Amino acid sequence: MSHFKAPPKKSLGQHFLTDRTYIEKIVMAVNPQPGDRLVEIGPGQGAITFPLLRRHGELTAIEFDRDLITPLMEAAEGVGRLTIIHKDVLDVDFGKLAGEDRLRLVGNLPYNLSSPILFHAIEHAASIRDMVFMLQKEVVDRMAAEPGSKVYGRLSVMLQAYCHVDSLFVVPPGAFRPPPKVDSAVARLVPRAADEVGIRDHRRFADVVRAAFGQRRKTLRNALSGTCSVEQIEAAGLRPDLRAEQVPVTDFIQLANQPDAS
């Protein structure tokens, strides 16, 4: 048995992937190798879980919905070694879970929680080798957006500062049960090495990016008036009359790294 039927729960934003073609494309994108520590976020009915388990032999899954745990464990018998952590993924310490290893995360992320899960993952980037996630296409577009694009924003800068982000392929609504009202897409995120990231103070960086995009129509001078001085903006090589969506990720890092004038 490779998966089971369970009614999707609207309250948890569940849309179960059922189309074999896209399931196989995701498994190929992950391409598990011997020794990999695979961790799946939200296995649902096991659409990706069991093909990965058959390929790799073992997998850890994080599942919040108690009703799915026993059916998943039963369906895994004879397929491979499945370990289930019954928790909200935002409460899972990936560093502790990884130990000496680095994790490879995979998952069809619930639409209503995708940004918090992504931010949670980048906090533990040192313990993660890569991530292959399916999300709303509109979120993936924002994650991978370039400066100057209409959808380039806080999510783009925060993720690209810590990871290489690639949009891999689109998954249409008909691949799911029930079909969502929007297209989905699969993205790969590969965390950068700490010395490549070059951010001196992570909280300061997050504050600068949040303030810069807080009011999109404002110039840096106005949007950052409580966060950075005009001198700091100019010292980072930026014009104070630019808007946040025109500023590349590396320039945001430069800006956040500027010493205090005091």
Q: How far apart are the first and last CA of the chain?
A: 66
In whole angstroms, give the CA distance from residue 217 to residue 59.
46
Handedness of CA 26, 169, 137, 158 (dihedral sign): positive
Q: Which residues are annotated as a binding site?
A: 15, 17, 42, 63, 88, 108
Spell out the alpha helix ranges (H) of the chain: 20-30, 49-56, 66-76, 94-98, 114-123, 137-144, 154-162, 194-197, 202-214, 220-223, 230-235, 249-256
Q: Which residues are annotated as a binding site for S-adenosyl-L-methionine?
A: 15, 17, 42, 63, 88, 108
